[in-house]
Amino acid sequence: MFTGLIEDVGRLEELQRGAQQCSLRVATHLPMQELQLGESIAVNGVCLTVTRFGDGSFTADVSPETLEVTSLARLHRGSPVNLERALRLSDRLGGHLVTGHVDYVARMTERKRDGNAWRLAFQYDAPQMEPLLVAKGSVAIDGISLTVNTVEKGRFSVTLIPHTLEQTTLNACQVGDLVNIETDLIGKYVARILGGGDASEKAGISMDLLARNGFL
């Protein structure tokens, strides 16, 4: 579990892709003495397991499924990546609950100044996920916890303050670039309960529905 507050922007040193396995190696300023084999690190919002570490870098295996449904396969040597270690139970939850399980990939369609901040817009093709994006709700973009500004069909926008831009990879993200999107975890469970299935199913709220789910 993560919070969406980026600890470091690392640099991809190597992405090895073979017929049987794939792994990536990331250079980072994260304290090596605190890392452990098998721990989870979110890389651009994708939860990966540390398999090796030392000398200012760590290595993680990547499954074919992960490469297929995220933007990791499009990275190249030298690409900046957002990094966050797993949440400890004693930590403050400064962002929102993020699992590191990417729902879909979106494309930036707009980037413009908005006072001292920047407004970014993203387009996506995942209609089953549309109910999980709500104005003023939470979304993780490449692992960054952000607040949704506006929502339209297949499109949403966020606003970033200068600090967030400076401390994450979105500072270099341009129109046309792909990003990993994870919708709000709590929203997924609510949609599942109310819809009786996935987020694309629609159902009204009735007294019987509330009673069956323990609210009455």
Q: How many CA atoms does the CB half-sphere of 76 hold within 13 Å?
A: 0
Q: What angle do CA 31, 139, 210 make, to 5 degrees?
A: 125
Domain(s) of CATH 2.40.30.20: residues in the chain: 8-85, 104-195
Whole-model pTM: value is 0.87
Helices (runs of H) and strands (runs of E) counted in the chain: 4, 12
pLDDT digit string, tens, across residues 41-61: 999 999 999 999 999 999 999
pLDDT digit string, tens, across residues 95-130: 999 999 999 999 999 999 999 999 999 999 999 888
For the chain, the straight-line distance linking the first and the last C-alpha, in angstroms and rounded, comes to 31
**Are the CB atoms for 148 and 136 separated by under 8 Å?**
yes
Q: What angle do CA 118, 124, 129 make, to 5 degrees?
A: 110
CATH class of the structural domain 104-195: mainly beta
Residues 8-85, CATH architecture: Beta Barrel (2.40)
